[in-house]
Homo-oligomer: A and B are copies of this chain.
Amino acid sequence: MTQISPDRWQLPDGVDELLPDAAWRVETLRRRIVDRCHSWGYELVMPPMIEYLDSLLTGTGETMDLQTFKLVDQQNGRTMGVRADMTPQVARMDAHALRGDHPNRLFYTGSVLRARTDGFGGSRSPLQFGAELFGHSGAHSDIEIIRLMLATLSEAQLAAHTLILDLGHVGVYRALVEALDLDDGTGTALFSSVQRGSLPDVQALLAQVPQATQNNTAQLLGGLMQLRGDTAILSQARSVFANASSAVLTALDSLQAVIDGVRATYPDIEINIDLAELRGYSYHTGVLFAAYTQAGDELARGGRYDAVGAAFGHPRPATGFSGDLKMLADATQHNVVTKKGIFVSAGIVDAAWGEIVRLRESGERVMTELPGIDNAQQASQCDRVLVQTQSGWTLQTLA
């Protein structure tokens, strides 16, 4: 055998394996979330791990392209991608295999791979879970999806009153900027300046744009960049944008409706508003949201993305959320694993088989001994042992 280098078994950066305790915690949480989504009338789908690249990246933008591992299909030379996000796949399923006019409520869970370690807490192999609601464009579908997100998080013992819900809306920035009809370069530079929070850069860029001066855009964007805080921010926003276009006011109305809807069923949740939050701007079209722990760990996020349906050839409004099950399981220390069970010594396994089958089917964990292994009973960590007595098979408690 060749010599084994010391790092030979090291996993790539951002890639992990789950040993029994962690795996069982994730499995338990996964089931709870699946059951919760099912109980809301959402239907489970299982999109493929790989697709042809032109299908996989439709409507997702450059960020997802950079995040996607590429493969060549040896059978025809076409380029495939490993899914880096299941949301666009589910949108494709809604637009094609499940095509219809009525709303589709879909959820999913599965491994995704990321070529880079940004996002998802540095993981390149998240176990994504999420839900998407297609075919409804009003605030009520955003409210339903946010409520479902909070319900799934409560399955991880993370009650809504312990969470922080961040809300934004890409529509305000979009309306202000679209009125300027910028070229792509200026558009990108402006977006970057707003994301960096650099007002001088914003002002310098817009000084070159006559329409911006006329619209007072620099001042409005300056206002936008300061509009972060609790829900009271929204009334400030109404005065800052009092003379802005109707699209801006529609976005603010929509955000207010979502706040009211969430508050109606989760009155205790802490809500933060950030109107300069523009995550997934190329993709999202309306409300954005994310749930955090008090310690600032992101648990799930999502938003409205009405344009993706059109990219798939079947225009459909859409809203949804997703998160990483592994990260979520880490965020909670509940779901304690207890390694209890019933030990059966090798000599009686076949004779006791009927009883062993019955015990296992009743939900017990039964470990049968293999001959020739020392201290097998102790190593099994079982708390009971099956023995034969005059009255039949009996369980005896182990010390």
Residues of A within 8 A of B (CB): 1, 4, 8-13, 15-20, 22-24, 26-27, 31, 34, 36, 38-41, 43-52, 54-55, 58, 69-71, 73-75, 78, 80, 82, 89, 92-93, 96-98, 102-103, 105-106, 110-111, 113, 115-117, 124-125, 127, 135-136, 138, 140-141, 144, 261, 264-265, 310-313, 341, 346, 350, 353, 360-361, 363-368, 370-373, 375-376, 379-380
Contacts and interface: CB of A to CB of B under 8 A. Distances in A.
Contacts of A111: 49, 110-111
Contact of A45 (B18, B363, B365): B18
A370 B1 contact: no
B113 A49 contact: yes
A78 B11 CA distance: 11
A19 B16 CA distance: 29
18 contacts: A1-B310, A8-B55, A9-B55, A11-B48, A12-B78, A15-B51, A17-B93, A19-B45, A22-B46, A26-B46, A27-B44, A39-B360, A40-B368, A41-B366, A102-B373, A103-B370, A138-B372, A144-B368
Given A17-B45, A44-B23, A125 B93 contact: no
Given A13-B75, A311-B1, A93 B19 contact: yes
Contact of A50 (B15, B20, B372): B15
B9 A92 contact: yes
B265 A313 contact: no
Given A82-B82, A141-B370, A366-B41, A46 B18 contact: yes
Contacts of A127: 46
Contacts of A113: 49-50, 82
Given A26-B46, A40-B365, A74-B115, 10 more contacts: A1-B310, A9-B96, A11-B52, A12-B73, A15-B50, A20-B44, A49-B113, A135-B373, A138-B372, A264-B350
A264 B92 CA distance: 51
